[in-house]
């Protein structure tokens, strides 16, 4: 709020201070509107407008391959969705993929952060290497794993498997192995992220609590259980929220590695919506799948944010 | 003492395994990109070989050159970054500093736009762009990239604007400077660092994007992440060339990542608080 000191004497003589304050506030509002307008117009055009279109097209039969049969169908697409086994299977794959990758990232990331925290030398090297997977395009990561790491009788993982006596495996051709593979690839790329965030949070914890605990002869496990974990909780929950949202809408790393296959074994809901819309060209039904994904995202984030608020 | 030494050895071994696991796939691609064709296919895999730049020469200047795709990626990334920053800096300043009605709602709106799954945006967008003939154009791709780069940049910048002391602006107003002038001359120089970090992130995300690119690209505009697929087909994979293309696609982001290493944790944390990067 403007104070009397901000108003020059000759101005103050002419205007009641209250009106001047109101005018200043109004000018501030106009300035704010001018600064926000370009960004908000762009955001509305690229997010809100497509969302409204999506809901609209979800009420149509819109098949680019068979345009003559297109038309308004109301909630028909949604009715089909509920009876669609491929939808339920992709939803299950999504939840398994998201749940397992997030748990693995947080557990491994936290364990490594605790380990590295105690290191006297080599922390810098860890931080440097950890940056690498995180900045890469998931499409490139997927391509590297699909070829140089997992290709049968060529990739390094297969080479190790043969030498370990497990034999050559069809890493991406077997439904179970392919699911494990895409989960591990995602975990490989994003664990460093959890690691870096948790390491930074660990470094910010107050030292004196640990001193006090040591004086009280608390064991390492007790210190972890009773001090580190509760203090780190906000950071851990934040990592979980962030990684869940990304895993739910992961696309490139699965698309490049398995394309959803074999069959629909690694087809997460996101990928199903893509395939339906752009491979099978059923835009209307693809829209319904995307709406379903949005609803799942909202439900999951609602649960996670409730978790964050809960003590 | 013995238990302590054992512990140190175990810790070192475990950390070494993880360092190797993270670095190896990247190093292995670099090594393969430097191999001649017969060395790539050698079994067991060769760690020692005569390096050659043949694969790079082929993918850059050969018949299947990816040079146009690298240029596409660069134009898209730079274009997205410039437009995003021009819109995000003023918006972030307003959200961080100015008082206006519905400020809370505006902040929430920016946050909420990130909740939309990208596949939900691209379906209607594809239809619209197809109608106006913007498929396979730079403007089409850059426009839709704003859907994820803008909210991210705005939120990251807000956190930097909030760190500046209020006194600086007040002093400028007392000197009779206009609001715009104060923003340009006093405030923006204070957040140079934050702006630089934001630029790095927006560029990274645009360079790495895949879903929008794969739907909207064509023969004219095809970023390198999509063009990579030319080197893998059902009949034949061109291993050394694929490795070279992967390395070229990784190079700019790895350099940026190492260069901005210190700031990246902050950016990643904030960037995804709202709901996720474009992965």
Residues A53-101: tens digit of each pLDDT: 999 999 998 888 888 878 888 898 999 999 999 999 999 999 999 999 9
Q: Which has the closest alpha carbon to B215: A64, A177, A66?
A: A64
The pLDDT of residue B208 is: 95
Give the gap in angstroms from C-alpha A266 to the nearest C-alpha of chain B.
16
- A61 DSSP β-pair partners: A71
Structural domain spans, chain A: 4-57, 86-309
Enumerate the residues of chain B whose CB falls inside 8 A of the CB of residue A154. 41, 43, 239
Beta carbons of A129 and B23 less than 8 Å apart: yes
Burial B67-103 (b: 16+ CB within 10 A, else e): eebbebbbebbebbbebbbebbbbbbbbbbbbebeeb
Beta carbons of A28 and B180 less than 8 Å apart: no
Mean pLDDT of A180-188: 96
pLDDT category, B277, cuts 50, 70, 90? Answer: very low
Mutation to test the B interface, candidates A49, A67, A140, A297, most B Cβ within 10 Å: A140
Q: At a CB cut-off of 8 Å and minimum separation 6, what does B264 contact?
A: A131, A134, A135, A196, B257
A164-168, A211-215, B20-24, B41-45 — most confident range: B20-24
Beta carbons of B277 and A246 less than 8 Å apart: yes
pLDDT category, B149, cuts 50, 70, 90? Answer: very high
Which of A6, A38, A147 has its CB closest to that of B174? A6
| pLDDT over 60 at A11, yes or no | no
Enumerate the residues of chain B whose CB falls inside 8 A of the CB of residue A278. 126, 215
Which of B15, B88, B256 has its CB closest to that of A116? B15
Structural domains of chain B, with CATH: 56-273 (1.10.3720.10)
CA distances, A179 to each of A154, A164, A169, A174, A267 (Å)? 20, 21, 14, 8, 9
pLDDT category, B279, cuts 50, 70, 90? Answer: very low
The pLDDT of residue B135 is: 93
Beta carbons of A46 and B144 less than 8 Å apart: yes
Q: Determine the 3-state secondary structure of A282 from DSSP.
A: strand
pLDDT category, B177, cuts 50, 70, 90? Answer: confident
**Nearest residue of A to residue B240 by CA position?**
A148
Which of A36, A119, A188 has its CB closest to that of B106? A36
Which element (helix H / strand E) includes A85? helix A85-117
**What tokens were used for B51?**
């390096």
Give the gap in angstroms from C-alpha A129 to the nearest C-alpha of chain B.
6
Place of tokens 């715009």: B180
Could you tell me which CATH class the domain A86-309 is placed in? mainly alpha
| pLDDT over 90 at B205, yes or no | yes
Which of B19, B98, B225 has its CB closest to that of A126? B19
Q: What integer best gives the mean pLDDT of chain A?
A: 88
Residue B116 exposed, middle or buried by CB count within 10 Å (0-12, 13-18, 19+): buried
Does the N-terminal peptide bond of residue A262 adopt cis geometry, omega within 30 degrees of 0? yes
pLDDT category, B264, cuts 50, 70, 90? Answer: confident
Enumerate the residues of chain A whose CB falls inside 8 A of the CB of residue B9. none
- pTM score, whole prediction: 0.90
Interface predicted TM-score (ipTM): 0.89
Give the gap in angstroms from C-alpha B196 to the nearest C-alpha of chain A.
16
The pLDDT of residue B274 is: 37
Mean pLDDT of B53-61: 91
Length of chain B: 279
Place of tokens 């064991």: A219
Beta carbons of B22 and A188 less than 8 Å apart: yes
Which of A28, A148, A253 has its CB closest to that of B32? A148
B191 HSE (CA, 13 A, CB side): 25
Enumerate the residues of chain A whose CB falls inside 8 A of the CB of residue B99. 25, 28-29, 32
**Nearest residue of B to residue A269 by CA position?**
B119
Mutation to test the A interface, candidates B20, B25, B55, B197, most A Cβ within 10 Å: B25
């Amino acid at each position: 709020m403007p104070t009397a000191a901000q108003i020059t004497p000759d101005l103050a003589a002419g205007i009641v201070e209250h009106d001047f304050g109101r005018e200043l506030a109004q000018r501030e509002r106009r300035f704010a509107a001018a600064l926000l307008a370009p960004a908000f117009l762009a955001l509305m055009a690229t997010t809100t407008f497509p969302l409204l279109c999506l809901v609209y097209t979800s009420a149509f039969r819109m098949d680019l391959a068979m345009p003559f049969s297109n038309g308004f169908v109301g909630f028909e697409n949604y009715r089909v969705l509920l009876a669609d086994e491929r939808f339920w299977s992709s939803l299950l794959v999504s939840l398994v993929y998201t749940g397992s990758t997030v748990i693995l990232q947080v557990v491994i990331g936290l364990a490594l952060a605790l380990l590295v925290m105690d290191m006297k030398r080599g922390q810098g090297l860890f931080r440097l290497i950890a940056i690498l997977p995180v900045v890469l395009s998931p499409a490139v990561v997927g391509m590297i794993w699909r070829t140089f790491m997992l290709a049968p009788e060529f990739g390094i993982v297969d080479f190790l498997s043969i030498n370990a006596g497990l034999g050559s495996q069809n890493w991406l051709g077997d439904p179970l192995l392919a699911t494990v593979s895409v989960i591990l690839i995602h975990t490989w790329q994003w664990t460093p992220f959890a690691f870096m965030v948790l390491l930074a949070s660990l470094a910010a914890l107050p030292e004196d609590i640990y001193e006090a605990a040591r004086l009280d002869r608390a064991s390492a496990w007790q210190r972890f259980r009773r001090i580190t974990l509760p203090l780190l909780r906000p950071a851990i929950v934040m990592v979980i929220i962030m990684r869940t949202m990304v895993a739910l809408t992961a696309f490139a790393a699965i698309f490049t590695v398995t394309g959803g296959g074999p069959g629909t074994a690694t087809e997460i809901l996101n990928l199903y919506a893509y395939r339906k819309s752009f491979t099978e060209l059923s835009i209307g039904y693809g829209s319904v799948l995307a709406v379903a994904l949005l609803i799942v995202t909202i439900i999951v984030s609602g649960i996670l944010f409730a978790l964050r608020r809960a003590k | 003492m013995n238990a302590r030494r054992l512990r140190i050895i175990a810790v070192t071994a475990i950390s070494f395994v993880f360092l190797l696991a993270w670095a190896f796939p990247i190093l292995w691609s670099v090594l393969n990109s430097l191999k001649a064709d017969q060395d790539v296919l050698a079994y067991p895999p060769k760690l020692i070989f005569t390096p050659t730049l043949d694969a790079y020469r082929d993918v850059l200047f050969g018949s299947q050159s990816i040079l146009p795709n690298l240029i596409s990626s660069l134009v898209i990334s730079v274009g997205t970054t410039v437009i995003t920053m021009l819109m995000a800096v003023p918006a972030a300043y307003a959200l961080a500093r100015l008082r206006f009605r519905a400020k809370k709602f505006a902040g929430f709106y920016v946050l909420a736009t990130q909740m939309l799954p990208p596949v939900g945006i691209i379906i209607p967008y594809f239809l619209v762009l197809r109608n106006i003939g913007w498929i396979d154009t730079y403007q089409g791709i850059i426009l839709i990239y704003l859907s994820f780069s803008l909210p991210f940049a705005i939120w990251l910048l807000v956190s930097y604007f909030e760190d500046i002391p209020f006194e600086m602006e007040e002093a400028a107003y007392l000197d009779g400077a206009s609001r715009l002038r104060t923003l340009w001359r006093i405030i923006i120089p204070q957040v140079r660092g934050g702006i630089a970090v934001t630029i790095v992130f927006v560029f990274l995300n645009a360079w790495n994007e895949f879903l929008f690119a794969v739907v909207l690209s064509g023969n004219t505009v095809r970023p390198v992440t999509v063009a990579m697929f030319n080197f893998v087909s059902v009949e034949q994979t061109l291993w050394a060339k694929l490795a070279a293309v992967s390395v070229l696609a990784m190079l700019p982001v790895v350099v940026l990542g190492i260069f901005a290493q210190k700031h990246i944790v902050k950016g990643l944390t904030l960037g995804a608080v709202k709901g996720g990067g474009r992965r």
